[in-house]
Structure formats: C-alpha cells, structure tokens
Structure 1
Amino acid sequence: MTLPDRRGALRAGVAAALTGALTTACGTEPRPAPRGPAPAAKPAARAPRPFPGRPAEIESGPRDRPRVALTFHGHGDPALARAVLTAAEKGGARVTVLAVGEWLDQHPEIARRILEGGHDLGNHTQRHLDVNAMTEAEAYDEIAACATRLRRLTGSIGTWFRPSRTRHAAETVRRAAHRAGYPHVLSYDVDSLDHTSPGAPAVVRNVTGQIRNGSVVSLHLGYPDTLAALPPLLADLDRRGLRAVTTTELLT
C-alpha cells in the first residue's frame, strides 16, 4: 500500500472510531431488548395538601355531606392489616392509614398494598412513642424519620400526620409537623376503642353510636376485633347512606 493510501485508511479508521464514540455517548446506539416483563411502577402517594380555612388540627370534615373517614393507626401483624384493607375494599370503603415508621421498616411492602387499594397513606411517627412528651426538636426528628421512610417507599411523605399516643397534638408537635411538611395534624371525633379489645360488637356500637356526617373515626389495623367489626360497621354505614372515603376525599 502506498503512503497516501495508508494515510487515507488511517483517517477513515479514526473517523469511524469517533463516530462510534459519539453514538454511544449520545445514547443512540441500539441496545438489546430487556428480558422479561418490565417491573411494575410503584403506586405514588399524594403529597400533603393544605385545606384553606381549616385549623392546624383537623378532627372532622363537612357536616353537610354524607361522608365519613375511617382512619387506621398503622402497625401490627401485616397479615391482619391486609385482611382489614381487603374487607374495607369489599365493603366499598376507602380508608386512611397512618403508618408507624418502624412498621414500614419491617414490612415495606404494606405501603404499596395500601396505595394500590386507593387508600390514603400518612405518618404516625417513627417509633409510636408519646410525642407530646417530647421537645419540639425530638418531635420533629420522630416525624421526619417516618416521613423519610414514606418518601423512600412511595415518593411522597404521605397525605397526613397523626400524633402518636394522643388524640390531640401539643402546639410544639403541630409546629414540628408543619416544619416536616404537613400543613395539618389529623385528629378524630369518633373513637372506636378497638385497641382495648372490647369485642367486635362493642367496636361497632362505639362507632355507630357517635358517627355522623363528616366524622373521622379512629381505628387500628393490628386488632382482630377491628377486622371482625368492619363488615357489620360498613353495612350499617350503607344503611344510613354514609359513604366511607379517604380523609383527603372527605375534605375536598
């Protein structure tokens, strides 16, 4: 090969190499098709939203519409929790679950199960301690730690915050929650007392004796009485024309 020919071949080789490098860098090089089905996308949780005109702590919704919110403290046996969610869905209800961060650490799959059912998922502190007994900084750390778990699992810190081991939040806790990204603290106006294990009929009576338009009901996922009470409770709500919706839907 003559010298001009060798130079031409060298230039052609360099050009080809540069073209290949640019193609790879720009992402246009063909890639092999992935094997197997694409993984299902995680259901995304809604972010907290402010409700103008509503107080910092909300315990009920509008009284002029036949809607109520069944809210569940999220901890306990995950199999029992899934059974409660299934029973709610069979009864046509959408609920709100306020999850404990340590519970999510132990059972991360439950976050997806809650969202796939169309339910609200929120924050019930990281360790379920007496949050009102903490300093504001300690309360913030508890709330923020659970928020971190929720964001990691769902892409959002969740829809609501409910303080642990208390019905009403201290002012320091409300400030800490607001700093962590929650415009409102979620309380309730109807207590089922299911955590005292009074038996399913008593749970039903405790709720039906107090519930009315706009009520927010406190329930728990980790108690068999709650699971047994849910079908007759939902049947009673249906007879009254009350619809069980998420807390977000209740206030919208």
Structure 2
Amino acid sequence: MTIARRQMLEAGLVTLAGLTAACSSPHTDTKQAERTGPTSPSVPATSPSTDGPASTRKGRGGEVVHGPRSRREVALTFHGAGEVALAERLLTAIEQAKATVTVMAVGTWLDSSPHMASRVLHGGHELGNHTQHHLDIKAMSAAQAQAEISECARRLKSLTGTIGAWFRPSQTRHAPLNLQREAARIGYQACLSYDVDSLDFTDPGPRAVARNVLTKVQPGSIVSLHFGHAGTIQAMPVILDGLKARGLTPVTVSRLLRS
C-alpha cells in the first residue's frame, strides 16, 4: 500500500470514530428535558494512557462511550455539583462499599467548595472536567466553548495539580468534533460519554434510578449519575448490591480503560 493511500485510510477511520461516539450528561439546574440521540454501540474511540491524569500535555482526542466488554468492571460517573452535604453522603456510601467512582466536576462548584476536590481524591476516586458553568456548550461560539473547558481545567489544576484525565461537555451527550479537538488541545485524553443513563437528575425516585442502571448495565459500562439528588443516595446501596450480584466491580474510568 502506498503512503498516500495509507494516510487516507487512517484519516477515514479517525473521522468515523469521531462521528459514532457520544459525550456528556444533559443535566441542568432546571432539569430541562434530555436532548440526546441513540447511544453509540461502538467500542471506545480512544483509550487512555496509563501514565496518570493529563496535566499540560496534549491529549489524543476522540470520545469514549464504554469500556471493554470483556472486563467485569463498570465506571460510575457523577456530575459534580449541588449541595455538598448530599455529595458527602453519597461518597461515604460508595466508600463503605469499597467502590471507586469518577466525578466530573463543574468549575463553579469547585469555586464554592474547593475542599471537595481533595475530598474526592482522598476517597480513592478521580476528577474530571465538566465545564466551568455547565451551560449549553453547543450553543456557544468556539471562543466561549474554549473558555468553558480551559477555566475548569485551571480550577482543577490549581486545586489538585492536574487538569484531570477526562472532559465531559455540558448539556449534550454528543460532542461535536470541534469540542473533541479543543479538549485534546487543552490536554484531555478523551471526551467522556456513557452507555447507561440513570436519569437521576429528573428525580424519578430511588427505585427508578436503580432500575434504570441495573436493567441496562453490562461489563464495561459507563454510567451517568449526579450529585445533589437525594434519590441517588437512596438508590446507591441497591445499585452497588445489584452490581455485586452481577459480578461487576465499580472502578474509575481510568481503571476501566487501562491498557
């Protein structure tokens, strides 16, 4: 195969990966209706390196929808915002079950409760970037979207020493290619989506939250959940017990996607 033909094929694969993945939780403070398309059935478009969270290095870009289906592990990911007392209760319940999770923190939440960054990390969990203000990032100009990503990255780095390994856009499950590229430019390994939506931000009750997770979860799943909702706290023991009964271990996204 000629060099030119090989380069064309590689470019086509990259474009296809970017178009078939999805990214982010659509939650807003007013609980607006979820604006999502179908979850991509594809394997992750990218896998992280194993040398720790990104800091200032350039990321590889792309999106991750789920991890390897061959591993008996899942990643519970949380929208990091809301009342701190509720977040503390949820983290405590998770830690009592000896589970670890990934918290996609909103920058303004870290501004108002900076101690929560170390609280999350000291519990064995990991932090990621869920934009600075959790606004509709797809409605923003390129400069505004860049600012949303970079401002939250700066908050994370000032509090923890790194920008975190993952970026999840706000109010959209599908990240346009320009957001994928911008997140990679800032240093994120990938844009983080999910294949299981708990819908806990709609406050459907703890039974519904647990059912939404346990009826759809499978090996390698990435689950979308939220801090700040009492129903999620009440559902967590049921979710964790249900995962255990299925032989699934909750781990961080970085652990799930390890090489």
TM-score using structure 2 length: 0.76
Q: Is the 8 A contact 1:114 1:120 kept in 2?
A: yes
Deviations along 1:190-213, one digit per CA (max 9) or x if unpaired, are: 000000000000000000010000
- Once the 2 structures are TM-superposed, how far is the Cα of residue 137 of structure 1 from its aligned partner? 1.9
Task: Give the counterpart of 1:98 among 94, 99, 104.
Answer: 104
Q: Is the 8 A contact 1:137 1:176 kept in 2?
A: no
Q: Is the 8 A contact 2:106 2:131 kept in 1?
A: yes
Deviations along 1:154-198, one digit per CA (max 9) or x if unpaired, are: 000012111111112111211111121112100000000000000
Instruction: Give the whole-Å Cα distance in 2 for the aligned partners of 1:194 and 1:87.
Output: 17
3-state SS of the aligned residue for 1:125?
coil
Q: Which residue of 2 aligns with 1:12?
A: none
**Matched ranges for 1:18-29 at <5 A:** none
3-state SS of the aligned residue for 2:100?
coil
Task: Give the counterpart of 2:86 among 80, 85, 88.
Answer: 80
Q: Does 1:204 align with 2:216?
A: no
Q: Which residue of 1 aligns with 2:48?
A: none
- Once the 2 structures are TM-superposed, how far is the Cα of residue 55 of structure 1 from its aligned partner? 7.1
Root mean square deviation, CA, Å:
1.3
Instruction: Give the whole-Å Cα distance in 2 for the aligned partners of 1:173 and 1:139.
Output: 8
Aligned residues: 203
Instruction: Pick closer, same or farther for the CA change 1:209–1:55 going to 2, 3 Å.
Output: farther
3-state SS of the aligned residue for 1:205?
helix
Q: Which residue of 2 aligns with 1:218?
A: 224
3-state SS of the aligned residue for 2:166?
coil
Task: Give the counterpart of 1:62 among 68, 73, 80.
Answer: 68
Identity of aligned residues (%): 55
Instruction: Give the whole-Å Cα distance in 1 for the aligned partners of 2:80 and 2:212.
Output: 20
Q: Is the 8 A contact 2:61 2:188 kept in 1?
A: no
- 1:107 aligned partner, one-letter code: S
In the alignment, structure 2 segments of 5+ residues that lack a partner are 1-51
- Once the 2 structures are TM-superposed, how far is the Cα of residue 134 of structure 1 from its aligned partner? 1.4
Deviations along 1:97-122, one digit per CA (max 9) or x if unpaired, are: 00000000000000000000010101
Higher mean alpha-carbon deviation, 157-166 vs 196-205, is at 157-166
- Once the 2 structures are TM-superposed, how far is the Cα of residue 243 of structure 1 from its aligned partner? 0.2
- 1:180 aligned partner, one-letter code: I
Q: Does 1:140 align with 2:151?
A: no
**Matched ranges for 1:47-196 at <5 A:** 47-48=53-54, 56-196=62-202
- 1:98 aligned partner, one-letter code: M
Q: Is the 8 A contact 1:136 1:176 kept in 2?
A: no
Q: Is the 8 A contact 2:73 2:219 kept in 1?
A: yes
Q: Is the 8 A contact 2:61 2:180 kept in 1?
A: no
Q: Is the 8 A contact 1:135 1:172 kept in 2?
A: no
Instruction: Pick closer, same or farther for the CA change 1:82–1:196 going to 2, 3 Å.
Output: same
Q: Which residue of 2 aligns with 1:231?
A: 237
Q: Does 1:246 align with 2:252?
A: yes
Instruction: Give the whole-Å Cα distance in 2 for the aligned partners of 1:100 and 1:55.
Output: 20
TM-score using structure 1 length: 0.78
Tell which structure's C-alpha radius of gyration is larger.
Answer: 1
Instruction: Pick closer, same or farther for the CA change 1:247–1:93 going to 2, 3 Å.
Output: same
- Once the 2 structures are TM-superposed, how far is the Cα of residue 48 of structure 1 from its aligned partner? 2.6
3-state SS of the aligned residue for 1:185?
strand
Q: Is the 8 A contact 1:123 1:147 kept in 2?
A: yes
Instruction: Give the whole-Å Cα distance in 2 for the aligned partners of 1:125 and 1:176.
Output: 12
Instruction: Give the whole-Å Cα distance in 1 for the aligned partners of 2:61 and 2:249.
Output: 24
Moved over 6 A (4+): none
Q: Which residue of 1 aligns with 2:33?
A: none
Deviations along 1:143-162, one digit per CA (max 9) or x if unpaired, are: 00000000000000012111
